[in-house]
Amino acid sequence: MKHRPPRTVSRNAVQTGFERGFTFIELMVAITILAGIAVLGWRGLDSITRARIALNEDMDQARGMHLSFAQMQIDFERIPGTATMGERPRLLAGAEHVMLVRTVFGENQPTHLQVVAYRIRNGVLMRYESMATRDLNVLDALWNAAIDDADRLPEVALQAGVDSMTLRAWVNDGAEWRDASEATERVMIRDGDGWRPAGPDDGAANTAGPSGLEVVLQLQRHNANVTKVFILGAA
């Protein structure tokens, strides 16, 4: 029986096999895989970037709402009582707006009064404040001007992205929460160029003013409402 010598591969043959390289199909497969990995990586990075942008917007909006509510709390707590204002109106609410009188405490200065108004204008929560005064007649003029010239008030934007503002008032007459416009307008009646207390002849059997105010803001891009309850005249 004859023995065959072992088969060997020459070094030249091995070098020829390595030098042959990749086929066209192999290159296409490799490029396709790399392209798929690149697309997946880009989509992942894009989703992370979008999520970060949305998170920053939500944080900015939350920060703006916190500052807006903090300003509202300061204003509502400083609504003066009848000892200061007499029978003059101090709070008036309507569709997506509320107007009030607040006290202003200056350092080493006597107490002043000013008119403040909040309203929604083109999706932005706006705030207006008048000049401060100690003259009640001037305050009456500022109050009426804030009502009659509402579209020309020099307002400051507090928060963008607000669809609507709903107001409810708490009145200690057994009815509890009610529409803020009803609760505030029934206390004071517009009489010519001024205001007077509402009485039985005006259909107001109980003219107790509200002691609390609920503000509900509907934000854009969100289905949930942001609600804050304020005590009126607590300061």
Spatial distance between the Cα atoms of 93 and 162, rounded to a whole number of angstroms: 18
CA 12 to chain CA centroid, nearest Å = 78
**109, two tokens:** 């200065």
Buried b (16+ CB within 10 A) or exposed e, 80-90: beeeebeebbb
How much is the pLDDT for 114?
94
> Nearest 5 degrees, angle CA 179-CA 180-CA 186?
95
How much is the pLDDT for 101?
94
Residue 82: φ, ψ to 5°: -70, -25
Q: What is the dihedral of CA 202, 204, 205, 210, to 10 degrees?
A: -160
How much is the pLDDT for 89?
83
How much is the pLDDT for 75?
95
How much is the pLDDT for 205?
44
pTM of the model: 0.71
Strand partners, 176: 171
Which residue numbers in the chain have pLDDT < 70? Answer: 1-22, 150, 174-175, 185-208, 234-235
Sheet of 91-94: strands edge to edge?
91-94, 97-104, 112-121, 124-129, 156-160
How much is the pLDDT for 6?
59
Return the sign of the alpha-carbon dihedral for residues 149, 151, 157, 163.
positive
- 187 touches 92 (CB < 8 A): no
How much is the pLDDT for 189?
53
